[in-house]
């Protein structure tokens, strides 16, 4: 227990010279607080001088502190006694240090150095606020271990939460007993394994506004878990629904397509944020990670764009991925895969009544003849390898063009008709206004079915690998 110290200093010397005789006068100041008393519950602390002093200097020498905080003082005089208190009043249960330290001036123009200090706890000892029981230091604690604090006075949960801290940071809940004297701190949902926690309670106020002077602190260590989590499966998943099928026995490579999610299956419950930060895919594929189910062992990467055809993806899971106890993967996981999606291709092509037998030929030629109506017209019927999505039909039709090659004096063809079959796999396009070749000048045209990323695509990420071009002679 801290004891009051009240130090008296007697000071100074005043010299008076008369008839070759030197006179010495003693001056002193005394604190009103009994040094043997640890507590003080009055209104003022008094400083009594044995002489008349200039009050201004005495007031300037007063200091009121609690810890490192200094308070403004209020002053009152009664004769030779100076009475002081904090301008905001005393706080119950708080330790104070009240002192006077400075050069005093007496009414007869003498000076002396006054010094005295009083230390005390404000209030009555019976009102002291302290802990009756605290959590003990433990090693190998259960991850659901609760911390129980018992106090001699009623407390409020909100005040305890403000005064309580724990390191490293953790989620927890606080419960107050019916008698409002016991606080239970419970982990949410549990403390991490392999971890030493340090907790502190300081500047706690009771319900009757008494401040606890002791700083409470201790540590506890959770039990060890040496088993690292493992990535059990990296697989295609049918969709994001609760009833989705996880193809855990099928490798990712060439078995995933479109915007199909990628599933991650771990051997232990994992911390989702750490998993999310640990996963990377190259080349970049926009998408997001989500947990799947309540077991915390399954997670999904959901792409927001289609996988690129023939692109090699590298998926990595770094050792930043950790289980719920903070134990990381033993080593970095790297998987390479291709999407199952194939190039969109032209499966069949007919020009007017002629079927193009070999679409792989480097140079395809077609001779345009006058039709039965006596007009020069070109009709291309293009069969694609798979269905074109509704939203991509117009763009696909616009990517099939007929243009003049030679000579520049010949007319440019005009598109007159576009038709899709019900299955949206066959496109029929018709052009007219071709210039007929003569014996002297031949008119050549080019029919282009555009490929590449900017060409025809099926609306689901698949496009033709390259252009398909046909040279047309109007004869």
136-152 pLDDT tens trace: 999 989 989 999 999 99
Is pTM beyond 0.75? Reply is no
Q: In this predicted model, what pLDDT tens digit does every residue of 443-460 receive, in sequence order?
A: 999 999 999 989 999 998
Task: Compute the residue count for the chain.
Answer: 475
Mean pLDDT, to the nearest integer, of 287-295?
A: 95
For 7-126, CATH gives 2.60.40.3710
Q: Which of 89, 324, 290, 303 is nearest to 193 (CA)?
A: 324
Q: 374 falls in which pLDDT band (50, 70, 90)? A: low
Class of 131-222 in CATH: mainly beta
Helix H or strand E segment including 429: strand 426-432
> Domain locations in the chain?
7-126, 131-222, 231-338, 346-474
Q: Which fold has domain 231-338?
A: Immunoglobulin-like (2.60.40)
- Separation of alpha carbons 331 and 320, rounded Å: 10
- What pLDDT score was predicted for residue 160? 97
Residue 231 has pLDDT above 90, yes or no: yes
Q: Which residues, in sequence order, are CB contacts of 298 under 8 Å at separation 6+?
A: 246, 263, 264, 265, 266, 291, 292
- Bond preceding residue 283 cis, omega within 30 of 0: yes
Residue 22 has pLDDT above 50, yes or no: no
Q: Which fold has domain 346-474?
A: Immunoglobulin-like (2.60.40)
Token couple for 72: 């403004």
Mean pLDDT, to the nearest integer, of 217-223?
A: 93
Mean pLDDT, to the nearest integer, of 67-73?
A: 92
Q: 17 falls in which pLDDT band (50, 70, 90)? A: very low
- What pLDDT score was predicted for residue 297? 97
Residue 389 has pLDDT above 90, yes or no: yes
Q: Which of 455, 391, 387, 447 is nearest to 421 (CA)?
A: 387
Average pLDDT across the chain, whole number: 90
Q: In this predicted model, what pLDDT tens digit does every residue of 292-311 receive, in sequence order?
A: 999 999 999 999 999 998 89
CA 90 to chain centroid, in Å, comes to: 43
Q: 368 falls in which pLDDT band (50, 70, 90)? A: confident
CATH fold match for the domains 131-222 and 346-474: yes
Task: Tell me if 5 sits within 8 A of 119, measured CB to CB.
Answer: yes
- Bond preceding residue 168 cis, omega within 30 of 0: yes
pLDDT exceeding 70 applies to what percent of the chain?
94
Classified as helix, coil or strand, 161 is: helix
- What pLDDT score was predicted for residue 25? 56
């Amino acid at each position: 227990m801290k004891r009051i110290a009240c130090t008296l200093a007697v000071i100074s010397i005043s010299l008076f010279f008369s008839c070759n005789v030197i006179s010495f006068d003693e001056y002193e100041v005394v604190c009103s607080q009994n040094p043997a008393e640890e507590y003080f519950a009055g209104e003022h602390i008094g400083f009594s001088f044995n002489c008349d002093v200039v009050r201004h200097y005495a007031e300037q020498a007063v200091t009121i502190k609690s810890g490192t905080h200094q308070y403004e003082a209020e002053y009152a005089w009664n004769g030779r006694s100076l009475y002081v208190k904090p301008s905001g009043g005393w706080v119950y249960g708080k330790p104070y240090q009240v002192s006077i330290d400075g050069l005093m001036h007496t009414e007869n123009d003498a000076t002396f150095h006054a010094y005295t200090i009083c230390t005390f706890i404000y209030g009555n000892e019976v009102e002291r606020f302290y802990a009756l029981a605290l959590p003990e230091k433990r090693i190998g604690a259960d991850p659901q271990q609760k911390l129980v604090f018992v106090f001699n006075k009623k407390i409020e949960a909100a005040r305890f939460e403000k005064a309580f801290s724990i390191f490293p940071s953790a989620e927890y809940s606080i419960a107050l007993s019916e008698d409002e004297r016991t606080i239970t701190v419970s982990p949410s949902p549990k403390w991490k394994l392999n971890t030493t926690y340090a907790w502190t309670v300081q500047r706690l106020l009771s319900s009757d506004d008494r401040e606890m002077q002791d700083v409470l602190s201790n540590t506890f260590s959770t039990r060890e878990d040496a088993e690292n989590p493992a990535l059990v499966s990296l697989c295609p998943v049918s969709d994001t629904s609760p009833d989705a099928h996880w193809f855990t026995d099928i490798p990712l490579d060439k078995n995933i397509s479109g915007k199909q999610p990628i599933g991650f299956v771990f051997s232990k419950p994992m911390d989702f944020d750490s998993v999310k930060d640990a996963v990377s895919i190259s080349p970049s594929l926009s998408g997001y990670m989500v947990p799947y189910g309540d077991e915390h062992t399954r997670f999904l990467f959901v792409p927001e764009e289609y996988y690129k055809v023939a692109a090699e993806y590298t998926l990595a899971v770094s050792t930043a991925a950790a289980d719920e106890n903070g134990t990381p993967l033993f080593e970095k996981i790297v998987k390479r895969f291709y999407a199952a999606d194939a190039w969109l291709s032209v499966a069949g092509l007919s020009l007017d009544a002629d079927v193009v037998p070999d679409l792989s030929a480097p140079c395809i030629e077609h001779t345009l003849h006058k039709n039965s109506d006596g007009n020069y017209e070109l009709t291309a019927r293009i069969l694609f390898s798979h269905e074109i999505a509704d939203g991509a039909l117009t763009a696909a039709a616009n990517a099939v063009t007929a243009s003049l090659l030679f000579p520049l004096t010949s007319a440019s063809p005009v598109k007159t008709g576009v038709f899709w079959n019900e299955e949206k796999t066959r496109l029929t396009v018709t052009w007219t206004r071709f210039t007929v070749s003569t014996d002297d000048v031949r008119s050549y045209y080019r029919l282009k079915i555009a490929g590449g990323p900017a060409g025809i695509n099926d609306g689901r990420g698949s496009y033709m690998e390259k252009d398909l071009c046909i040279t047309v002679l109007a004869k």
